[in-house]
Amino acid sequence: MIRMKDVSKVYDAGVLALDRVNLEIRKGEFVFVVGPSGAGKSTLIKLLYRQEVPTEGQVVVAGNDLGTMRRREIPYFRRKIGVVFQDFKLLYDRTVAENIAFALIVTGAAGRDVIRRVMQMISVVGLKGRQNAYPNQLSGGEQQRVAIARALIRNPEILLADEPTGNLDPKTSLEIFRLIERANIYGTTVVVATHARHIVDSMRKRVIEIKSGSVVRDDRRGAYDR
């Protein structure tokens, strides 16, 4: 599902963010990416949804070679990927339902089906009854649920999350990870960059550790620390 071959990323300022990274993630896997701040976790995630392109090496995601992908193909590729961020990236002038429906409407899905799917997704993420609330009427955890619902509404092949619980308390974080795990159980490949030590330790999934742009550890059922 995801393959990185000798991938390096150097930003314009000359910063080496990733240094010859090789990794392979199979369909249906749940992977934690851990490491200190600035290690290159976010860059790795950005390469996977083609927000960034590698300076060297090859990134293949869901059958697409992202380095040679044409510009107009990017939107169609991104429809196969759901992305969740630490800061939720919601539209604050739209309701919960509108935020979730947004992902469907702007990709051309239309009609009565949209409302049915949105309502269904709202109940999946546990926000039943809150569909007409605006994001700033919600708690952080609830906002992240909206973001997850938006990421999952198109049934993506891959769910990427960059510090999804960075702004949330431990209990809420756990609930968010339960939700992400549930998507994984239904077949979505999941890659999460995180600092949530207790969660990584309790879930015992594959852990990839990055330090200074290099993969230093890849455990099949790992913990946050070696």
**CA distance linking residue 185 with residue 182, whole number of Å:** 5
Q: At what angle do helices 112-124 and 96-105 cross, to 10 degrees?
A: 130
CB of 30 to another protein, least distance (A): 22
CB of 121 to another protein, least distance (A): 14
In the chain, the DSSP E strands lie at 2-10, 16-25, 30-34, 56-61, 64-65, 81-85, 158-162, 189-193, 206-211, 214-219
CB of 176 to another protein, least distance (A): 19
Q: Between 5 and 78, whose beta carbon lies closer to another protein?
A: 78
CB of 22 to another protein, least distance (A): 27
Chain residues in the site for another protein (CB under 8 A):
49, 72, 75-79, 83, 89, 91, 95, 97-98, 101-108, 110-112, 114-115, 150, 154
Q: Between 14 and 111, whose beta carbon lies closer to another protein?
A: 111
Contact 98, 91 (CB under 8 A): yes
Which DSSP category does 136 fall into? G
Contact 104, 114 (CB under 8 A): yes
